Structure 1
Amino acid sequence: MAENAAKADDKEAATPQDAATWLSEIEAAQRDMQPYFQRCDRIRKLYRYENNRSTQKRRYQIFWANVETMKPTVYAKVPKAVVESRFRTGDPVARIASTLLERTIQFQLDLNDYDRTFKQMRDDYLLYARGVPRLRYEPEFDEAKVEEGLDDAAVTGREVDSEAPDTNQVLKFENVHCDYVQLEDLIHPKARTWEELPWLAFRAFLTKEEWNKRFPDYKGTVPFDTSGLDANDGKSKDSAIDKATVYEIWDKTNQRVLWVAKGCAEILEDSAPYLKFTGFFPSPRPAYGTLTNDSLEPIPDIAYYQDQVDEINELTARIGSLTDALKLVGFYPSGPQGEGSPEVEKAMRPGFENKMIAVKSWAAFAEGGKGGAPIIWLPVDHVAKIISECVQLRKQLIDDVFQVTGISDIMRGDTDPDETMGAQKLKSQYSSSRTKDRRNEISRVARDVVRMVGELVSEQFQISTMMEIASVPLPSKQDVMMAAQQAQLQYQQAMLQYRQVQAQAQQAGQ
């Protein structure tokens, strides 16, 4: 007993037990991930092309094109739930239970718009090499009047809150939501693998109304100093749009769930996990891009071809500048009116075509041009040659990017009509093999989400809710009793026949 107590003390000492320590741990984890978040912020601006209004420098949006090409490749549609017995023994109970669970899971996937969450996760995965979903159980209640003298369960047929004297909360329906987690709202300490994480925190922003409803015992104890768009936006306090920063911590070490808030000295809530999952956390392992085995900080794909993107943008800006210089410019001698000077200017004006111009001093005009118009044109063939070489160099850099990313001509819909069928098949196989790991990663997260939905449904849902969703009739108690009585009767008849056969055999032997 003493040894067990000592181990428990060591376990508690290894994990923060007060709000200040937890907030310090969270701040340290955020500092550790700050370089990654800064890199992601630059990627976000590049993808959104946010500097297009502040600069006139032209860019080639190859990064945006690559991401848009990969989106339908790695994720196409919501997964389908499949629940079946591991060993197909023909057990009718297992078959009915599997059908009931499968239909309930699929209903949740369709009803609660899991497709939108999966697409948001996919976008973060392609941009920042990390996409995070999480599961949330949400029951719906109705307020029902209970007549005096009647049993609550007899009136409603479902569980009610017995503490309310006149009005009871009646369970109306149950939902499992899959929420998208913003990039900086998932916080965890440094770790080599997902399985080694001691705790996980989810950041949320609550308005005053939401705070007072969720934590009524802590009114006026936290600063409302953020709008929720940026935790460090420096908004004025006590504004109608300001929110409080709250952290939901899943402590895997001690198997606890805690709530702490920025600026509050107390732990708001500390309880056992309100949802039970095999991996403890309410989120599956995120969809990770490039990782090494010693860190959970992912490396976005663009980091591997950022140099080529910069060179392509530089060449695009240079081509744009040269294109601006590629214009028709001519020089002619200025002379008195009637010798061609105003007439040449008139002929070069925009929109002047299919007209004739009279020149009064034709002899002087023709002599000045040696039989032609007295104009010397600015040579632009050198500029055109430089532009052509820049375009060829940029094309080579673009091909290098496609080699790095694995995006082939087949995926981009850009094929050479002179190519053979074998060459196109080879490119198709190449692109499929290069993107296979990305598709498998998204599929793995979707599979884990479906499994966790099945766990929540099995643990939290009422049988009546599942029957309502799945339209699978289950036998009543009376049906079960009748089936048991029938089975007992069949057993007794079989034993009677067996005894009669045994008696006949004994008589024949005598």
Structure 2
Amino acid sequence: MDEQQPQLADTLEDVNEPKSSDVLLTAIREAARSFEPWYTQCDRIDKIYSLARSIGGSAVYQDPDFDLFWSSTEILKPAVYARPPSPVVSTRFAIRDPFLDQVSEMLERTLATTLDKACIDDVMKGVRDDLIMTGRGVSWLTYEDEEHQRVTVEHLEMRDFLHEPARKWAEVGWVARCAWMTADEMRDRFHEASGDAYKTASFAKRDDKHGMTDDSAKAPVWEVWSKTDSRVYWVVDGVDVLLDEEEPFLELDHFYPCPRPAFATLKRKSLVPVPDHARYESTLDQINDLTRRIYGLLDQVRARGLIAGGTDVSTAVETLLAEADDDMMLIPVPAEGLVGNGDPVTWLPLEMFANTVSGLISARQQLISDFYELSGISDIMRGASDAQETLGAQQLKSQYGSVRVREKVDALVQHAQGICSIAGEIICANFDGKTLLEMSLTKMPTDADIKKQITLVQKQETQAVEHLNGQLQVIQQQVAMQLPPPQPGAPQPQGVPAQ
């Protein structure tokens, strides 16, 4: 009889022990392992961009006078992202409704104030830099209601964000963010839910890779949003139980409190980014190698000559080539060792050095052109307009120059729209009327103002009715005085009130 296979539950919880954190921690480790090659590649790119002299124990040549990777990145930054996003709120269809228009304007103003307080420009610049250099930029939104209602937007580093490995973003079943917390912070946050379980967490000190530069001991606490379970979990490495779990405390259409990451190039059928630097890294290495050789040869290009004297020829030539003093031009050698047409000075040939340097410079220029084509810098440079050009020429150049960066621009626009959408949902669901009015600087009547207006209208109505009744009585009296007195037995005229 075949052994019964265990049934795998489509959940992040342990079906046998619901409070266990093993399934969650295993899923986090597997996701981190799938991204580890990309993490290593991104660390190398960061060190190259930061002019690190050694990577992995091996020296890396970086010429501060010709840093092509840095200069190209600085050109791409303003081409991809120029100014902070401005939220626009309107109805889905063109409906002329004064109430909806006023509500949309109030929410738009509140969103603008919220993003300004959240320093959205710094967040978007962080997402932009990650998108250009590593291929993925991530942000996370949080609702705070301790002292006053506020929505914060954070830019997450690459190792502080994980999601379920999937082929496309629509198939991702959970996302997680990492927050480094001390023991005191964990006690204040999780003691009520899990007691002293946090004490067995793996605390660490001075982890430069994760931005920890102080001496406080912290542990990485993962906040996991599971769309499959419709639950939010908090776990930490070294603790075998859940620190806390609850239903989603934010009601969002797309469930996650983060928009879709801004992706550049992705591996086929996966969400693992491919940094652009990997495409032209070999070209940059060749350019650096040629630059080093050019500068080395230029150091040897000096005017040197041999004259009749008493020094060995080979020793004199070595001395000339090794001497860096430009004041030393001649060195004596035995007269019989000179080869020439009888000139008193025999000059060392410089044509060979000059031709070699010229060839290296030409080869390097071709490699630079190839790099510009690969990175899209050439298109951006072609799109640069001149103030003296016509409007049509400037528009054509602008359209042509944005072709290569359009995908990155669209990714950032979509990411900014996601931030505004999530922030708007949080504001509509959690902010009270007073906060909305204060943040939007909108003047709307309160209940007391409406009651006062109703009372005033009712009073005016009563006065108007009394005035009409008085006018009616006056008219009736005037009509009665103009009519002749009724004769005894005569019929009463129709429409005239009785005397």
State the AA in 2 paired with 1:116.
D
Distance 1:392 1:467, change over 3 A: same
Distance 1:423 1:92, change over 3 A: closer
For these two proteins, the number of residue pairs brought into alignment is: 429
Give the aligned partner of residue 258 of structure 1.
233
Contact 1:174–1:461 (CA under 8 A) maintained in structure 2: yes
1:161-176 mapped onto 2 (5 Å cutoff):
173-176=148-151
The match for 2:49 among 25, 47, 50 is 47
Give the aligned partner of residue 225 of structure 1.
204
Distance 1:421 1:311, change over 3 A: farther
Give the aligned partner of residue 190 of structure 1.
165
Q: Deviations over 1:158-196 (max 9, x none)?
A: xxxxxxxxxxxxxxx221111011101111221011111
Pairwise CA distance, 1:199 = 0.8
> Is 1:77 aligned to residue 83 of structure 2?
yes
Give the aligned partner of residue 283 of structure 2.
308
Contact 2:383–2:401 (CA under 8 A) maintained in structure 1: no
Pairwise CA distance, 1:63 = 1.6
Distance 1:425 1:405, change over 3 A: farther
Distance 1:102 1:490, change over 3 A: farther
> Is 1:16 aligned to residue 20 of structure 2?
no
Percent identity over paired residues: 35
1:46-125 mapped onto 2 (5 Å cutoff):
46-51=48-53, 55=59, 57=61, 59=63, 60-125=66-131
Question: What TM-score do the two structures reach when normalised by structure 2?
Answer: 0.76
Pairwise CA distance, 1:46 = 1.6
Pairwise CA distance, 1:391 = 0.6
State the AA in 2 paired with 1:180.
H
State the AA in 2 paired with 1:177.
T
Partners of 2:449 and 2:182 in 1: CA distance: 52
State the AA in 1 paired with 2:170.
E
Partners of 2:13 and 2:268 in 1: CA distance: 27
Q: Which stretch has the larger CA shift, 479-488 or 243-252? A: 479-488
1:8-407 mapped onto 2 (5 Å cutoff):
14-17=11-14, 18-51=20-53, 55=59, 57=61, 59=63, 60-141=66-147, 173-216=148-191, 217-218=195-196, 220-230=199-209, 240-292=215-267, 294-334=269-309, 374-407=344-377
Pairwise CA distance, 1:255 = 0.7
Partners of 2:446 and 2:84 in 1: CA distance: 35
Contact 2:180–2:221 (CA under 8 A) maintained in structure 1: yes
SS of 1:224's equivalent? Answer: coil
Q: Who wins on radius of gyration, i.e. which is larger?
A: 2
Give the aligned partner of residue 444 of structure 2.
474
Distance 1:250 1:487, change over 3 A: farther
Contact 1:408–1:430 (CA under 8 A) maintained in structure 2: no
Structure 2, unaligned runs of 5 or more: 1-6, 15-19, 312-319, 329-334, 465-499
Partners of 1:96 and 1:81 in 2: CA distance: 15
Structure 1, unaligned runs of 5 or more: 1-9, 142-172, 337-344, 354-363, 494-510
Distance 1:225 1:280, change over 3 A: same
The match for 1:433 among 391, 403, 412 is 403
Pairwise CA distance, 1:397 = 1.1
State the AA in 1 paired with 2:134.
Y
Contact 1:58–1:317 (CA under 8 A) maintained in structure 2: no
1:387-466 mapped onto 2 (5 Å cutoff):
387-408=357-378, 411=381, 428-466=398-436
| CA RMSD across the alignment | 3.9
Contact 2:159–2:210 (CA under 8 A) maintained in structure 1: no
Partners of 1:384 and 1:58 in 2: CA distance: 24
Partners of 2:287 and 2:302 in 1: CA distance: 24
SS of 2:377's equivalent? Answer: coil
Contact 1:226–1:245 (CA under 8 A) maintained in structure 2: no
Partners of 2:78 and 2:230 in 1: CA distance: 39
State the AA in 2 paired with 1:36.
W
Contact 2:384–2:401 (CA under 8 A) maintained in structure 1: no
Partners of 1:375 and 1:414 in 2: CA distance: 54
State the AA in 1 paired with 2:373.
Q
Partners of 2:385 and 2:297 in 1: CA distance: 29
Distance 1:272 1:410, change over 3 A: closer
Partners of 1:412 and 1:287 in 2: CA distance: 26
Pairwise CA distance, 1:211 = 2.2
Q: Which stretch has the larger CA shift, 405-414 or 460-469? A: 405-414
Distance 1:79 1:182, change over 3 A: same
Give the aligned partner of residue 6 of structure 1.
none
Partners of 1:399 and 1:197 in 2: CA distance: 40
Contact 1:23–1:262 (CA under 8 A) maintained in structure 2: yes
Pairwise CA distance, 1:284 = 0.3
SS of 1:33's equivalent? Answer: helix
Q: Deviations over 1:70-125 (max 9, x none)?
A: 00011111111111233444323212211221111101111221110110110000
Contact 1:74–1:439 (CA under 8 A) maintained in structure 2: yes
State the AA in 2 paired with 1:397.
L
Contact 2:141–2:152 (CA under 8 A) maintained in structure 1: yes
Distance 1:333 1:414, change over 3 A: farther
Distance 1:298 1:223, change over 3 A: closer
Question: What TM-score do the two structures reach when normalised by structure 1?
Answer: 0.74
Pairwise CA distance, 1:441 = 1.1
SS of 2:233's equivalent? Answer: strand
